[in-house]
Structure 1
Amino acid sequence: MPPAGSDSSVAVDGCLCEDASDGRKRCQQCERNSKKSGLTSSSSSYALLSFDSFPLEDYDKRWRIFTASVKGFAIGAGIKGGLSLFAILARLRRRRSLSSVKKVQMSSGGQDLVLALKETLRYGLFLGTFAGTFVSVDELIAALGGHRRTARWRALLAGAIAGPSMLLTGYNTQHTSLAVYILMRAAVLASRCGIKSKRFGRICKPLTWAHGDLFLMCLSSTQILCAYILKQDSLPQSYKSFLNKHGGKDPIILQGIRDIACGMPFTNLDQITKYYKSTGIDVVLDPQMKVPCSIIHENQSCSWHAISFFIQAYKRAVPVYLPVYLIPALIVHRQGLSKRPFTILAKGLFGTARSSLFLSTYCTSAWVWTCFLFRLFKRCNVAMLALGTFPTGLALAIEKKSRRIEISLYCLARAIESFFTTMSEIGYLPHLKNLKRVDVLIFSISTAIIMHCYAIERDVFRSKYLNVLDWVFGVPLPPYDTTPRKKNSEDDCGL
Structure 2
Amino acid sequence: MSASGDRKVAVDGRCTCFSVDNSDDDNKLHDRSCPHCRRSNLPSSSSSGSLLSFESIPVQEYDKLGRIFAASVKGFTIGAGLKGGLALFSVLARLRRRRLSPSAKKVEMVSSSYDVILAIKETLRYGLFLGTFAGTFVSVDEIIAAWGGHRRTAKWRALLAGAIAGPSMLLTGLNTQHNSLAIYILMRAAVLASRCGIKSKRFGRICKPLTWAHGDIFLMCLSSSQILCAYILKQDSLPPSYKSFLNKHGAKDSVILQGVKEIACGMPFTNLEAIEKYYQSTGVDIKLDPEMKVPCSMVHGNQQCALHFVSFLIQAYKRALPVYLPVYLIPALIVHRQGLLKRPYTILGKGVLGTARSSLFLSMYCSSAWMWTCFLFRIFKRCNIPMLAMGTFPTGLALAIEKKSRRIEISLYCFARAIESFVTCMADIGYLPPSKNYRRADVVIFSISTAIIMHCYAIERDVFRSKYLNVLDWVFGVPLPPYETTPRRSSQTK
Q: Same fold (TM over 0.5)?
A: yes
CA distance in 1, matches of 2:183, 2:137: 20
Q: Which residue of 2 aligns with 1:452?
A: 455
**C-alpha contact (below 8 Å) 1:214/1:408 kept by paired residues:** yes
Deviation string for 1:253-290 (max 9, x for gaps)? 00000000000000100100100011111101011110
Correspondence for 1:54 among 41, 54, 58: 58
1:332 is displaced (CA, Å) by 2.3
SS of the counterpart of 1:390?
A: helix
Deviation string for 1:24-50 (max 9, x for gaps)? xxxxxxxxxxxxxxxxxx999849965
| Seq. identity, % | 78
CA distance in 1, matches of 2:299, 2:109: 29
Q: Which residue of 2 aligns with 1:491?
A: none
Q: Which residue of 2 aligns with 1:469?
A: 472
CA distance in 2, matches of 1:406, 1:294: 36
Q: Which residue of 2 aligns with 1:346?
A: 349
CA distance in 2, matches of 1:161, 1:230: 39
1:54 is displaced (CA, Å) by 3.4
SS of the counterpart of 2:204?
A: coil
User: For the aligned residues, what is the CA RMSD?
Assistant: 2.3
SS of the counterpart of 1:203?
A: helix
In the alignment, residue 59 of structure 2 is paired with which amino acid?
P
SS of the counterpart of 1:335?
A: helix
Report the CA distance shift for 1:149/1:437 in structure 2 as closer, same or farther (over 3 A).
same
Correspondence for 2:264 among 257, 261, 266: 261
**C-alpha contact (below 8 Å) 2:77/2:127 kept by paired residues:** yes
CA distance in 2, matches of 1:437, 1:107: 34
CA distance in 2, matches of 1:292, 1:344: 46
Q: Which residue of 2 aligns with 1:428?
A: 431
CA distance in 2, matches of 1:196, 1:178: 28
SS of the counterpart of 1:266?
A: coil
Q: Which residue of 1 aligns with 2:318?
A: 315
Unaligned runs of 5+ in 1: 2-9, 13-18, 22-41, 479-495
**C-alpha contact (below 8 Å) 2:43/2:461 kept by paired residues:** no
**C-alpha contact (below 8 Å) 1:321/1:356 kept by paired residues:** yes
Unaligned runs of 5+ in 2: 2-9, 16-39, 482-494
**C-alpha contact (below 8 Å) 1:179/1:443 kept by paired residues:** yes
The yes-or-no answer on 1:248 pairing with 2:262 is no
**C-alpha contact (below 8 Å) 1:43/1:475 kept by paired residues:** no
Correspondence for 1:388 among 384, 388, 391: 391
1:334 is displaced (CA, Å) by 2.6
Report the CA distance shift for 1:95/1:431 in structure 2 as closer, same or farther (over 3 A).
closer
CA distance in 2, matches of 1:92, 1:188: 39
Deviation string for 1:18-73 (max 9, x for gaps)? x9x9xxxxxxxxxxxxxxxxxxxx999849965634336x2322111111111111
Q: Which residue of 2 aligns with 1:5?
A: none
**C-alpha contact (below 8 Å) 1:92/1:109 kept by paired residues:** yes
Please say which of residues 349-358 and 92-101 is displaced more in the overlay: 92-101
Correspondence for 1:355 among 341, 358, 361: 358
The yes-or-no answer on 1:127 pairing with 2:130 is yes
In the alignment, residue 273 of structure 1 is paired with which amino acid?
E
In the alignment, residue 387 of structure 2 is paired with which amino acid?
M
Aligned residues between the structures:
442
In the alignment, residue 295 of structure 1 is paired with which amino acid?
M
Q: Which residue of 2 aligns with 1:96?
A: 99
Deviation string for 1:76-131 (max 9, x for gaps)? 11111111111111111111001235753895211111111111111111001111
Report the CA distance shift for 1:107/1:403 in structure 2 as closer, same or farther (over 3 A).
farther
CA distance in 2, matches of 1:440, 1:338: 39
The yes-or-no answer on 1:153 pairing with 2:185 is no
The yes-or-no answer on 1:142 pairing with 2:145 is yes
The yes-or-no answer on 1:285 pairing with 2:288 is yes
The yes-or-no answer on 1:114 pairing with 2:105 is no
Q: Which residue of 1 aligns with 2:441?
A: 438
CA distance in 2, matches of 1:105, 1:285: 38
Q: Which residue of 2 aligns with 1:191?
A: 194
In the alignment, residue 281 of structure 1 is paired with which amino acid?
V
Q: Which residue of 2 aligns with 1:419?
A: 422
1:141 is displaced (CA, Å) by 1.2
CA distance in 2, matches of 1:313, 1:345: 24
**C-alpha contact (below 8 Å) 1:455/1:476 kept by paired residues:** no
Deviation string for 1:345-398 (max 9, x for gaps)? 221111111111111111111001100110000000000000000000000000
Report matched runs for 1:201-212 at 5 Å: 201-212=204-215
1:148 is displaced (CA, Å) by 1.4
Q: Which residue of 1 aligns with 2:242?
A: 239
1:335 is displaced (CA, Å) by 2.6
In the alignment, residue 408 of structure 2 is paired with which amino acid?
I
In our comparison, the structure showing a higher alpha carbon Rg is 1
In the alignment, residue 387 of structure 1 is paired with which amino acid?
M
Report the CA distance shift for 1:284/1:201 in structure 2 as closer, same or farther (over 3 A).
same
Correspondence for 2:80 among 77, 80, 86: 77
1:457 is displaced (CA, Å) by 0.6
The yes-or-no answer on 1:397 pairing with 2:417 is no
Q: Which residue of 2 aligns with 1:7?
A: none
